[in-house]
Amino acid sequence: MRFSPGDNTAMKLGILRTDTVRPEWAANYGEYPDMFKALLGALDPSLAFATWHVEAGEFPAGVDEADGWLITGSKFSVYEDRPWIHRLLAFIRELHTARKPLVGICFGHQAVALSLGGEVRKSVKGWGVGLHRHAFRAEPSWFDGGDRTFRVLVSHQDQVQRPAPGSAVLAGSEFCENAVCQVGNHILTLQGHPEFSADYAREIMNFRRGIIGEATYQEGMASLAEAPERERMGRWILAFLGEATGGDH
């Protein structure tokens, strides 16, 4: 995928890092930007990456610092009163106004919804962990034409309860109705974690076992017998970014 057809300059994807992986895990799995670089970089070696640690207060100088943007997941809630979250929500609105390509993952999915007028809160259904199945209700232009149902790792209690005005809800499940949303041709958000490996999902569930509840924990661990469709979702993200930037893919 290139930023524009016939251009030899690789597309620059700006990653907005919103959390820090626990030190005992980071040695094996890296930080969240590393997970995305591993997934997307393997699918498209031409990609260039830049990272801003927004949780630590490091923000881009402007929306044109990258060709496209990606917001990672986080243990924080998007409605928490933290200066860096308020600043991130404002930056999302800047990206939206400029129609810059943006992908939001989990926390990023929720941050986009909240920043653009939607509602995010803890679900009465509790925690979603392990491998879930989401299904597309419609096939967007970047969809691969395959099975509308897909397997994805999840780890969340917050959900987008009301999508932002103008959002198209593309996919969901009984547990999470608003799991994949798109705003115009420039913003795509996903509640699930294509960047997670099953081993990393297992680490998180073990760590949060007492919080998520034993029944949910056991169900989530058992779900890992099936493999998530990580590369398939990675290709969707690249296809979306290719269309949004006007590049080939």
Domain that holds residue 211: 12-245
Residues classed as catalytic: 106, 193, 195
| Least confident span in 6-20, 73-87, 150-164 | 6-20
In a domain, 2, yes or no: no
Q: What angle do CA 237, 239, 245 make, to 5 degrees?
A: 100
In a domain, 5, yes or no: no
CATH number (domain holding residue 211): 3.40.50.880
In a domain, 3, yes or no: no
User: Where is pLDDT greater, at 4 or 237?
Assistant: 237
Closest CA to 191 of 231, 238, 132, 240: 132
> Is the pLDDT score of 4 beyond 50?
no
Residue 247 is predicted with a pLDDT of 61
Residue 32 is predicted with a pLDDT of 98
In a domain, 22, yes or no: yes
In a domain, 45, yes or no: yes
User: Where is pLDDT greater, at 201 or 245?
Assistant: 201
Say how many domains are in the chain: 1
